[in-house]
Amino acid sequence: MPPAREPISIALLHDGRAGERHARELAEALRSAGQQVQLLRAPTARLAESVLGGRGFSGRLTQLPFGVTALLRSQFDVAHAFSVPDALTALTWRRLVGRPAVFTCIEPLDRDRLADRRLRLWLLQRAVQDSDALVAATEESRAALARWLALDAPVIASGDAAGYERLYRELLAQRA
Reported confidence tier of residue 30, pLDDT bands at 50, 70, 90: very high
More confident residue, 120 or 49: 120
Tell whether 26 is covered by a domain.
Answer: yes
For 63-73, write each residue's pLDDT tens digit.
777 888 899 99
Look at residue 49 in the predicted model and tell me its pLDDT. Answer: 53
Q: For residue 33, name the pLDDT band (cuts at 50, 70, 90).
A: very high
d(CA 104, CA 90): 12
Return the higher-pLDDT residue of 38 and 66.
Answer: 38
Q: Is 1 within a domain? A: no
Picking from 38-42, 97-101, 138-142, 143-147, which range would have the lowest pLDDT averaged per residue? 38-42
**Contacts for 71-75 with beta carbons within 8 Å, 24 or more apart?**
71/11, 71/13, 71/40, 72/96, 72/97, 74/9, 74/11, 74/38, 75/9
The answer to the question of residue 2 being in a domain is: no
Three-state helix/strand/coil letters over the chain: CCCCCCCCEEEEECCCCHHHHHHHHHHHHHHHCCCEEEEECCCCCHHHHHHHHHCCECCCCCHHHHHHHHHHCCCCCEEEECCHHHHHHHHHHHHHHCCCEEEEECCCCCHHHHCCCECHHHHHHHHHHHCCEEEECCHHHHHHHHHHHCCCCCECCCCCHHHHHHHHHHHHHHHC
User: For the chain, how big is the Rg over CA atoms in Å?
Assistant: 15
Q: Which residue range(s) make up the domain with 124?
A: 9-175
Residue 24 lies in a domain: yes
The CATH number of the domain holding residue 130 is: 3.40.50.2000
The total number of structural domains that make up the chain: 1
Rounded average pLDDT over 15-41: 89
What's the pLDDT band for 106 if we cut at 50, 70, 90?
A: confident
Quick check: 33 and 162 in contact, CB under 8 A?
yes
Structural domain includes residue 144 = yes
Residue 164 lies inside a defined structural domain of this protein: yes
Instruction: Give me the chain's average pLDDT, please.
Output: 84
Specify whether the CB–CB gap between 158 and 29 falls below 8 A.
yes
Q: Is residue 78 part of a domain?
A: yes
Give domain status of residue 33, yes or no: yes
pLDDT digits (tens, 9 = 90+) for 51-103: 556 555 566 665 777 888 899 999 999 999 998 889 999 999 999 999 999 99
